[in-house]
Amino acid sequence: MRLGWHALAIALATGSHYGTASGAKASAVHKLSDKAFDAWSDAQELALVKFFAPWCGYCQAMAPSYEQAAVALKKDGIPLAEVDCTKESKLCEELDIPGYPTLKVVVSGDYVKYNGTREESGIVDYMRRHKQAALPEIAAKSFDTFKESANVVAVGFFGRNTAEHGVLEEVARELRDEYTFGFVNDRTLAKAQGVPAPGIAVYKDGVKADIFTGAVTSESVIRFVRATSVPVLGELSSQTFGNYIRAGVPIGLVFYSTDAMRKELETQLEGVARDFKRTVSLALVDARIYSKHAKMLSLAPTWPAFAIQDVAQHTKYPLPQPRPVSEAELRPFISSFAEGRLAPYYKSEPVPATNSGNVFELVSKQFNSVAFDTSKDVLVMFHAPWCIHCKRMAAAYEALGAAMRQYPALVVARMDGTANDVPSHDAALQVSGYPTVVLVRAIDNRIIAYSGNRSIESLTDFLRLHATHSLGASDAQQIEVEHVQPAYDVISNHDLGFSPKEARHIEL
């Protein structure tokens, strides 16, 4: 048998860990059950828990490193534990474990996301760093060095036993993997820095970027730190896109096509960018490199151009062309967006004059009224004209539509994803490749992704299992199709210049 490199690596990595030779040392990793989980977690000041399944190859590959890390961290008083989700399924469901392995850091009974690597050294370094204070007190004489110690540094000017300290400490625990935090209990230094005490300021590359104003809550401070972490009217590129995503603020993309145009826009829009920085992060984008991203935002290749992209909501707001990209135009446009008066734009083909075929031809303009009709189960295939896998699936999908016409409460539909945007914020409907098939159930509108092969039998079984309305026992009409594992064409983003991971956020 030919063993692939990945399988061989797993076999080599796991062979020693799962061996049962007599005299093997007891594991340093605590095994947690549902009954003991809460009590154990509440008792830990700092710990790490792995949620796994024994059959998971990645879990098996990680096991030796996790065991070694548990041994190394014993002297630091940081216990490592694990939960077998095949045995403790109820617990894993309650904690919403998305896949295996999933690691969570325990901090005084609360769980936060683990953002380190899976190697022994990475686990050990990450947990030791988390053992240090999330919000250390900084002496006045060390302040200048501290504010220059990282790209983004958030500093509180208050005493230890204040409400502001408690809030910033909570924020620091949550964001410590992204930003650096500290506090200074020195009113003279606060006055010299122009920060009211108690107060919070963010420094970028050692320079004060902004001072927090408003009610001090965890949510408001998190939004403040994230929004301030990106520059006012910076440059958006494949290198900086991740920073804008993490900031969690809608992005206002200003496209330019010449260096002279860029300079003029930067001068004209700096005030707008500064005034709206907590609402929309304005950024300059080189249209010579990222013209396809502009097209995705429904902008014609006429520069300059502007659009707001709300990544979290999967929405876009292009400034109607040919309106000029100027301060006079952008101020009211961004204000309308901030006040919720601006409707998102969704690209759509015209609604078909007739729709009497076996498969309902869906377009963006009618998507919500059809797909979210609570009286019907709606199966939707998102396809692209150039997608070879879509073409191979077409015959089976057409036959499925014919077979299902006898059920008036079931709609088999398809939509060209290249010509229509999905007018929904639901992450389950954000298409990253073709064909993508989902079922929107009747009554509860729950969305279930299809992952079977391209046969009518598999599609029918999927509907029989998941549709709200019952189907007959033998609805599949036999046709000749390939019985292969599902395949699809991933939407290419190389022309955009963004990495595949970042591209998931920009496919609207």
Point out the residues that are catalytic.
56, 59, 387, 390
Burial class (CB in 10 A: 0-12, 13-18, 19+), 452: middle
Give buried/exposed letters for 453-477 (b at 16+ CB in 10 A, else e): bbbbbbbbebbeeebbeebeeebbe
Cα–Cα distances in Å, from 441 out to 53, 242, 363, 420? Answer: 30, 34, 19, 22
Q: In angstroms, rounded to a whole number, what is the distance separating the alpha carbons of residues 428 and 437?
A: 11
- Residue 458 CA, distance from chain mean position: 30
CA proximity to 253, closest of 209, 210, 291: 291
Q: Is the peptide bond before 385 cis (omega within 30 degrees of 0)?
A: no
Q: Supply 151's token pair.
A: 């790209």
Q: Which of 421, 318, 317 is nearest to 363 (CA)?
A: 421
Q: What are phi and psi of 335, to 5 degrees?
A: -60, -40
Contact 358, 410 (CB under 8 A): no
Instruction: Using the structure block, give the residue that is written with the tokens 């690596």.
Output: 9
Three-state DSSP state, 315: strand
Residue pair 11/3 in contact by the 8 Å Cβ criterion: yes
> Cβ distance 210 to 223 under 8 Å?
no
Backbone angles phi, psi at 449, to 5 degrees: -80, 140
Instruction: Give the residue among 459, 341, 449, 443 at the shortest CA–CA distance from 398.
Output: 459
Q: Is the separation of the CB atoms in 398 and 410 below 8 Å? A: no
> Among 209, 266, 208, 210, which residue's Cα sits nearest to residue 236?
266
Q: How far apart are CA 67 and CA 331, in angstroms?
A: 57
For 73, phi then psi, to 5°, come to -90, -5
Rounded to whole angstroms, the Cα distance separating 231 from 239 reads 14
Query: How far apart are the C-alpha atoms of 400 and 75, rounded to whole Å?
Result: 62
CA distance 283 to 276: 12
| Chain centroid, CA 34 distance in Å | 29
CA 166 to each of CA 217, 308, 495: distance values in angstroms, whole numbers, following the listed order: 10, 35, 46
User: Six-digit token pair at 182?
Assistant: 């500290």
CA atoms of 77 and 163, how far apart (whole Å): 29
State both tokens at 175.
């964001």
